[in-house]
Amino acid sequence: MMPHDVQTKREKFGPLAKALYFLATVQITWYYLGHVSLYMYRWRYEHGVDRMPFQGRLMMMFLLRWSHHSAACIAMVNAMKKIAPWVMPYAIAPETILQICVDIACVVLTGVIATRIYQASSKERLLVFWIYPLVLAMCVTTYMLHTMQNLRYYYDFPSLLFFSAGLYLIYFRHHPALFAALFLVGTINRETTLFLLLFYVLAYLARNGPASDSSIDWRRLRDLRIWVVVAPLAAAWLAWHVWVGWVFRQNSSEFSWRLFVNLGLVLLPLSWPQMLGAGCYMFPVIFLFRRSIQDPILRIWLWTLPAWFGLMFFYGILIETRIFGELIAYLACLTALIAEQEILTRLKGQGWLKIPEETPDPMTEDCQDDSMLSVLR
């Protein structure tokens, strides 16, 4: 089959794939809302008296309040009750419509972002149509496929989108003002945006070159222009959470260290299938095949995974794999890049494919440094 024929088939399959992806997203979201238990009390959350730290994640509180007065949400509720009340396996209310729309949008945009990053990081783009299904599979195993602690929170899917969008802005080196705006809004939703600053710093330190070369240029830490972005955002993050803690200081709290709980879970074989389900069981695969990742930024971001796991070991519950959900777009890209590299290597080893030698990148390291720094000047 000629490359032109392959491209033609891809173009014909594109609209059908998008339609199927959307239907799958709707089905997964409806299942998520109907069959995964909500661990928050809606009335208490909307009135600011739910438990901490859940109450301190405020963004969805404002949206849920708004939904009760939204003409669009109310009209959709009335229409669904009249036309197809059996569609929803749970009570239909304005806040239900809001959650459906928000969660579908979050998953769709996350899939689009993951696909875009993969397209930019892959030379061959062999698996471009598999990125979105991979994101959906990771959402299922990370947020829904549980036998213990099968819980959901209003802010989970919005957090997935905010984090994915932050990675997109960092990877494509958009203006820091856009990143700062997204960071501040995302922080209102959930505190895991703090990890975006680590991703930002590491992307700044990334060095071009083969995977076997040193990937970090530590000298760039001396450049003050990166700290002009990171330091104020870190201060804003801290100030926001100090303020939130003071405002809701009278609320009951479930905040505690989970170190010994997680130690017990790690030693319990029955919990292993669920813990490893985070990211569709791809964490061990990514670790074993990490040298197959050629993109310098995606490769250096691997250093964030031990930091994420370490913090969650102290403050999260490992069998609640949703605590790794923000990484889904990144994990999907890594998984596809590793699979693509292994496919090409095996084809080349069997003599079915000739891979030309890599030519030097016309954009030198200095040029890339200038392109990233120019927006900080």
SS (H, E, C) the chain: CCHHHHHHHHHHHHHHHHHHHHHHHHHHHHHHHHHCEECCCHHHHHCCCCCECCCCCCHHHHHHHHHCCCHHHHHHHHHHHHHCHHHCCCCCCHHHHHHHHHHHHHHHHHHHHHHHHHHHHCCCCCCHHHHHHHHHHHHHHHHCCCCCCCEECCCHHHHHHHHHHHHHHHHCCCCHHHHHHHHHHHHHHCHHHHHHHHHHHHHHHECCCCCCCCCECHHHHHCHHHHHHHHHHHHHHHHHHHHHHHHCCCCCECCCCCHHHHHHHHHCHHHHHHHHCCCCCCHHHHHHCHHHCCCHHHHHHHHHHHHHHHHHHHHCCCCCHHHHHHHHHHHHHHHHHHHHHHHHHHHHHCCCCCCCCCCCCCCCHHHHHHHHHHHHC
Q: What is the mean pLDDT of residues 368-377?
A: 38
Looking at residue 88, what is its pLDDT? 61
| Dist. CA 318–CA 312, nearest whole Å | 7
Percent of the chain with pLDDT over 70: 86
Mean pLDDT (the chain) is 87
- Domain segments of the chain: what residues? 33-354
Looking at residue 160, what is its pLDDT? 97
Q: What would the pLDDT profile of 128-180 be if each residue is shown by its tens digit?
A: 999 999 999 999 999 999 998 899 999 999 999 999 999 999 999 999 999 99
pLDDT exceeds 90 at position 244: yes
Comparing C-alpha atoms, which of 162, 205, 234, 213 is closest to residue 304? 205
Question: Of residues 346 and 115, which shows the higher confidence score?
Answer: 115
Looking at residue 76, what is its pLDDT? 87
pLDDT exceeds 90 at position 362: no
Q: What would the pLDDT profile of 261-299 be if each residue is shown by its tens digit?
A: 999 999 999 999 999 999 999 999 999 999 999 899 999
Q: What would the pLDDT profile of 15-71 be if each residue is shown by its tens digit?
A: 888 999 999 999 999 999 989 999 999 999 999 999 999 999 999 999 999 999 999
Residue 204 CB neighbour total at 10 angstroms: 23
Predicted TM-score (pTM) of the model is 0.88
Q: Give the HSE-up count for residue 176: Cα atoms under 13 Å, Cβ half-sphere.
A: 21
Question: Of residues 162 and 3, which shows the higher confidence score?
Answer: 162
